Amino acid sequence: MKKLGMVVVGLGFVGGQAHAPSVNKIKNAELVAVCDMNDKLATKYSEKYGCKKYLSVKDALKDPAIDAAIIAVPTPFHYAVAMDFIKAGKHVLLEMPLGVNMAQTNKIIAAAKKAKVTLMPSLNFRFAPIYQRVKEMITKEKVLGKGPVAIHYREYISANLLAAQWPPNSWAWDKKKSGGPLFTLSVWSIDLFRWLLGAEIVQLHSVAENHKLAKYGGTHGYMGYAIAEFSDGTIVSAQYSGGVSQDQTVVTMELVGENTNMINAIDTHTIKVMADDPKETVYKVDVSGPRVWGHYQEVEHFVDSILKGKQPQITPEDGRIATEAGVKIARMYRQL
């Protein structure tokens, strides 16, 4: 089978540490090139993986060996970069949110349809082993009986980690440029709920608070709360924060079943099931590297879908719905 020639555009945390190593290890993919305007980063990954480097999208588009692009540039540049590759007839795996607003998002989707290329939103939580296991418990093992009646989700990211990735003057804190961090980071969990439930959002409400963190030079310590109802009747509460200390960093999801059982997914490696037996059952998920949050599996699925001429499981419409929900959640985010 022919290998899919790929370029990773944007070599920050996700592009450099998740997407590039994933492409490099997938047997039916070839990492033809990496692309970043930062020459130091481009050189680093080019030398690491023995591939070409480009410092501009314009130069990358001239390479006939490139069939598809993984776009992991900052959110404000998603639209321009995605449109360039789509119009050039290249398949695109695009990081989320798709655009900084719905107008950009809809134009990207329409352009991909017109160009007849594959556009797959990077909604990698669906591929994360811990959530794959939770899905099995719900749909196959019926741990929650007929299914969840409520989901309580908490995503707290330590302020020092965000400050290291996004300094005070970063695009990420500017709501006008990027939609703000609450918008940027809420989209994956919203899609996760849709996927786990196999249901659509009926109503969604949110509140948010935002303050500057002097200890990190003025980054934002946001707090956001969202409440949603889904078409199957399940209610969801979601808490988001980037204003906690290192030891408070946590991603947890509690699912309450109609049979009173509970599933608690803790970070990326532990699942606890609480039933009538007073002793909880603990499952461990043994995974490491780009597979932890599903990036490797996502890229592998993207590559396989294109080579076999199939529509990926994750569609542009999934990306549109998640982006639209993120816009609603972040409406209350106050620009400082």
Which strand (E) or helix (H) includes residue 53?
A: strand 52-54
Strands (E), 191-293: 201-209, 212-213, 219-220, 223-230, 235-244, 250-257, 262-266, 270-274, 281-284
Domain, as residue range, for 281: 126-292+323-332
In a domain, 317, yes or no: no
Q: Tokens 């980037």 belong to which residue?
A: 242
Are residue 211 and residue 91 in the same domain, yes or no? no
Residue 255: which of 328, 125, 154, 157 has the closest Cα? 154
Residue 96: which of 298, 237, 267 has the closest Cα? 298
In a domain, 223, yes or no: yes
Are residue 184 and residue 218 in the same domain, yes or no? yes
Are residue 273 and residue 303 in the same domain, yes or no? no
Q: Tokens 């404000």 belong to which residue?
A: 76
pTM (2 d.p.): 0.96
Are residue 170 and residue 72 in the same domain, yes or no? no
Local structure of 142: helix, strand or coil: coil
Are residue 133 and residue 271 in the same domain, yes or no? yes
In a domain, 318, yes or no: no
Residue 159: which of 170, 149, 167, 171 has the closest Cα? 167
Are residue 41 and residue 166 in the same domain, yes or no? no
In a domain, 154, yes or no: yes
Q: How many domains are contained in the chain?
A: 2
Are residue 76 and residue 195 in the same domain, yes or no? no
Are residue 228 and residue 140 in the same domain, yes or no? yes
Local structure of 7: helix, strand or coil: strand
Are residue 298 and residue 288 in the same domain, yes or no? no
In tens digits, the chain (336 residues) has pLDDT values of 689 999 999 999 999 999 999 999 999 999 999 999 999 999 999 999 999 999 999 999 999 999 999 999 999 999 999 999 999 999 999 999 999 999 999 999 999 999 999 999 999 999 999 999 999 999 999 999 999 999 999 999 999 999 999 999 999 999 999 999 999 999 999 999 999 999 999 999 999 999 999 999 999 999 999 999 999 999 999 999 999 998 889 999 999 999 999 999 999 999 999 999 888 999 999 999 999 999 999 999 999 999 999 999 999 999 999 999 999 999 888 887
